[in-house]
Amino acid sequence: MTGTTMPPVLVTGGAGYIGSHTAMRLAETGFQPIVFDNLSNGHRDFVRWGPFEEGDIRDGDRVRAVLEQYRPCAIIHFAALIEVGESVRFPERFYEVNVGGAATVLAAARRAGIDKFVFSSTCATYGTPQRLPMDESHVQAPLNPYGHSKLMVETMLRDMAGADEMRSVLLRYFNAAGASAAGLIGEDHEPETHAIPLILDAVAGRRPGFAIFGSDYPTRDGTAERDYVHVEDLAEAHVLALRHLLGGGASRSYNVGTGRGTTVRELIAAVEAVTGRACPVRLAERRDGDAAALVAEPARLMAELGWRPTRDLHAILGSAWKWHRSLHAIGEPA
C-alpha cells in the first residue's frame, strides 16, 4: 500500500494530454493517481499529482507488479496510440498496443481482483454518422483501424461485464481541446496532428500555414465539423465515471461532447478572434478515415452522472493559446 488515506487509482497513460488532466482532477477530488506510462507520447513533467511508474501496458509482469504495490481501487485506462492517419498506414501497431495492451491490463486487473475500469474510448467507433447529433445507440461501424481498435476493447469490456468479471464505464470522446486553467499542462504532441495547436502554430508564425483537409464535405461550409470539449470538462467526466463505479453502478457507455459542432473554417475564424492574428490556410485533399461531421448527443451523461460542459469554444481556445504561448515562448506580434 502507499501509506496514504487517499484511495489510489491506476491511470495508464497518465503522462499524456488527457491522462494528466484527469490525474490532476483526481487529486483535487481526494484520490491518489498512480501514473503508469512508457513516455512514448507522454511527458514526465506532466506527472505532478502522484507517484510515477514507468512501464509499457504490453508488459504483463510490470503491470502486475504495479498493481500489487499500490492495490488501486480502480483503473482509468488512457494508454493507446491515437493518430487516425497513422492507424491507416500502420494498423498492426494499433492492434498490438491498443487491443493487446488493454487485454494485458485487463488480465492483470482480474488477477489482482480489480473489477472497476474506466475506458478512454472515442466517437471514432461510430464511423459515418447516420444521424446528428450521435447518441450511444448509434450503430458502431468504424472507418479506420484506430476506431476498430477502440471498439474491440469496448467489446472485451462488455464480455467481461457479462461474465461478472469487470464493471466498466466507456467514455466515447469527441474532440478534446484546451489546457488547464492554471497553465500547468496542455496539448504537446510530437509530431502534432491536432487542429487547434496546428492553427495556433500557424497564427504564431511557427509554421507556414494550416492545411484544410477537404473543402467539399456535406457541411454548411464544406469543411469537416467536429464537437470540441474542454479537456478539464473531459477530466471531470472520468471522475464522475469512477465515482459511479465505486458506488456500485452498472457498466455504461457515455458520449463526452458538447452537442455543438464547429467546422474547420469556423474554428480558424474563432482562433483568429481569440489571438488577434491571421491564419494563412491552404486547401488539401480529404484524409483517409475522416468523417464529414462528428457531433455528440451527451444527454445520457448529463442525466445519469450529472456532467455538464462548463467551458465554451472561446474558453477552450483562450486556455489553449495561453498554454501554447508559454510552451513555445511566443511573444506579442511586432
Residues involved in catalysis: 146
Relative orientation angle of helices 313-328 and 264-275, to the nearest 10 degrees: 60
Output DSSP code: residue 125: G
Paired with 328 in beta bridges are none
Identify the residue whose cell numbers are 478572434. Answer: 273
User: Cα separation of 119 and 100, whole Å?
Assistant: 14
All three cell numbers of 293: 461531421
All three cell numbers of 123: 466517437
C-beta of residue 320 within 8 angstroms of C-beta of residue 200: yes
Which of 99, 84, 70 shows the shortest CA–CA distance to 8? 70
What one-character-per-residue DSSP string does 99-113 give?
IIHHHHHHHHHHHHT
Half-sphere exposure of 266 (CA within 13 A, CB side): 16
User: Cα separation of 69 and 62, whole Å?
Assistant: 11
Burial of 85 (0-12, 13-18, 19+ CB in 10 A): middle
Half-sphere exposure of 300 (CA within 13 A, CB side): 17
